[in-house]
Amino acid sequence: MEPTASKEPGPVRERRACLTEAYTCLRRGSCPSQRAHDVASAIFVGVCGGVSSGDRESCPPENHSDPTVELSCISMSLLEKISSALMSGSLPPAATLYHAEVLTGLQDMDLMLQLSTVCPVWQQKCVQAFYSSTPSPALDNCLWSITDVFKRLLQGGHQENIAKLLAAFDSSLMAICSKFLPEERSEVLLCLDDVRRSRRWGTTLCLLLELLELLTASSVIYAADVCLQSQRITYTHSSALLTIIGGSSHYFVKKRALLLLKRAVLQKSGEDWALGEGLYFGPKNKHLLADMSTLAKSMLTAVATNWLQRVQVESSSFFGGTRHVRGKEGKADCVMLRALGLLLLKSLELYIQTPSGAAGVNSAFEVCGYLQSVWGFLRQGSLLRTEVTHCCCWLSLLFGEQDDDMMEAAKALFSIFLHHRLCSGLDDCSMLKAACVFGCNPHCHFLLLLQSISFDHSILLDFLISTETCFLEYFVRYLKYLRADWQGFTAACGKTSLLDHHLSLQQSPTALCGGDVLKVTNRDQDPYRSNTCFQHTGAISSAGMISMAAGFHLVEYDSSDESDTEEMEVSQGAPVASVSEKSRFSALDMKLQKLSDLTGILIEPNTTPHRRAEGPQVPVFLSEQTSCPNMAPVSGHVTCDTLARVVLCMSHLREVVKRLHTKKLFPYNPSSLLRLLEQL
């Protein structure tokens, strides 16, 4: 070997010597004489095949080996050995710090990005590892490296390189998924047994799930350019993923699989990695509709076979880790619960758009049966440490801490309600009562949303402007329905009352979800046996508690005129009404008077709403058939008070949107939205 090396060009000989010494020191657990940066540079040049044509031509003819290939092999082997040694923790402290610095230097050089186009050695090694599919440090390293390459390519918008990389790994990725995510349920259970016996399997499976999310994201981002089988694995192998979630695998594995399916059904794969803005508005993948239907069918089939009963939910994480939820010991993992609920709701929304679920009374009651399954799962074992008798409250209880999930769930429930209304053949009154029993009354959901934000129109404006939620789509669809069913909305307002915190807790209050929710409930009534749709239940999410300081905003939209002067009053005691608030109260007096004229109920001026500083407000659904001790009966002015709050909130929202649109400060054309608001 020495005679050959002595005839090599100087740069090649120096890199070979550097890599050889680094490899020898790594085996001994010591540090090379070169700086970590020099070793990283030698590995980088070797991996990328950085041998100039002059150096290659200067090699003597008797040296038949290509220095590019040799240096690439040595560099890749050394890189794998360093990664494996650091992961196993087998090096002494000094050597660990040195080699960690080497990897940091390679990361700064964007080595992983170079692998996608210039290193056939790396591609061949990964393909071989994927076909063997044997859990090992080598397979984990390959999964990690290809995931990092894909992530950097997606973040950088390297469309051509992504297509080449997908084509190179498509068949090998299908092979490894057939091993870890087989189609037959019995084979999946065998895989789960291996995961339970070995921590290595769990780590490998999590790395694979992370790669699958990137593959799914690439199918959405570049749908019109490339669509290979490996990009559809999340959908086509969704049944195996659901089996993993309901199986006895490690909790972090099933949680990772559940979040993968949730993001896939929402078409938001890769959102945690900031892959760019506006990625999901291009042309759709030609297989997307069929793939989404496959995912929805897999989910509903699993629920029909008692899959929910096999899903394990632990308590929310804390500094000491996590633990199983038993009885009322602790707060359940709300991330897991939200993902479960949203995955089922979106699956139902997709199902009712298929021919088998689009029409028929049987279809309507089948969908309602699925809703009862998810509400029953949440009620089972007191996962949220509460009893909810009015199922519409689950929307705010479950999704109140996450705005984007709550809007997606509200939109899905609204679609389910419209489908049930079309197929059930019930009259409007009976339909609304049934909708409350099944937890899909859109009027209840909208009222709960307004109550959670204290009827603050500026928060609705934030939702309308933000691109992080689907509130605009949900809001427009609901306003169109509200026009046609104002009577049903008025009836819902008539059953709703806002009470102060100390008044509403006289019924032996129970703190829920670590203080996030407060509720008053009548435990003696069964919601599925009762025909009435409003029970003694109130709930407010943490979002509502945060929004109680509704008068304090970074931007005051009511003062958007350039010539307006801003005033701020600070008080140690009770809040003092500003000029703007006084004008609101005057406007509300006019609304109340108008409502009084329409309903024939005398409304006293002192019932004007005001900002409450004593504590959070709890929305309470009241029943005509029952009465709550220590609680005053529903009066006319309370009925109109709730309705007036809604009308005033919508009126202020319309005025602010119109003003911003006139000044060309609104991000899109709100003309259609303004017309809907004006018709209320």
For 197-241, how does the pLDDT look when each residue is reduced to its tens digit (9 = 90+)? 766 788 899 999 999 999 999 888 776 556 788 999 999 999 999
In a domain, 304, yes or no: yes
What are the contacts of 432-436 at 24+ separation with CB within 8 A?
432/488, 432/491, 432/492, 432/533, 433/531, 433/532, 433/533, 434/368, 434/533, 435/392, 435/533, 436/390, 436/391, 436/392, 436/533, 436/534
Residue 200: per-residue pLDDT:
75
Q: Is residue 475 scored above 50 in pLDDT?
A: yes
In a domain, 294, yes or no: yes
Is residue 225 located within the same domain as residue 291? yes
As a residue count, the chain comes to: 680
For 340-391, how does the pLDDT look when each residue is reduced to its tens digit (9 = 90+)? 999 999 999 999 988 776 666 677 788 888 998 888 888 775 555 666 778 8
Is residue 44 located within the same domain as residue 72? yes
In a domain, 169, yes or no: yes
Residue 135's domain comprises 118-271+283-312
What are the contacts of 303-308 at 24+ separation with CB within 8 A?
303/344, 303/370, 303/373, 303/374, 307/242, 307/246, 308/340, 308/373, 308/374, 308/377
Residue 165: per-residue pLDDT:
87
Residue 83: per-residue pLDDT:
86
Identify which has the larger pLDDT, 53 or 445.
445
Query: 292 near 235, Cβ under 8 Å?
Result: yes
Q: Is residue 61 scored above 60 in pLDDT?
A: no
In a domain, 566, yes or no: no
Q: Which residue has the tokens 């051509």?
A: 160
Last residue of a domain, one of 81, 112, 143: 112
In a domain, 668, yes or no: no
Residue 652: per-residue pLDDT:
95
Is residue 107 located within the same domain as residue 157? no
Q: Is residue 631 scored above 90 in pLDDT?
A: no
Query: 516 near 536, Cβ under 8 Å?
Result: no
Domain count, the chain: 2
In a domain, 229, yes or no: yes
Q: Is residue 516 scored above 80 in pLDDT?
A: no
Is residue 108 located within the same domain as residue 136? no
Residue 315: strand, helix, or coil = strand
pLDDT band at 75 (very low <50, low <70, confident <90, very high): confident
Is residue 105 located within the same domain as residue 184? no
Is residue 108 located within the same domain as residue 160? no
Is residue 158 located within the same domain as residue 298? yes
Round the CA-based radius of gyration of the chain to a whole number and report it: 31
Last residue of a domain, one of 97, 112, 127: 112
Is residue 192 located within the same domain as residue 83? no
In a domain, 568, yes or no: no
For 543-575, how does the pLDDT look when each residue is reduced to its tens digit (9 = 90+)? 333 333 333 333 444 444 433 433 333 333 333
Is residue 75 located within the same domain as residue 203? no
In a domain, 406, yes or no: no
Measure the CA–CA gap between 505 and 298, rounded to whole angstroms.
43
Last residue of a domain, one of 257, 292, 312: 312
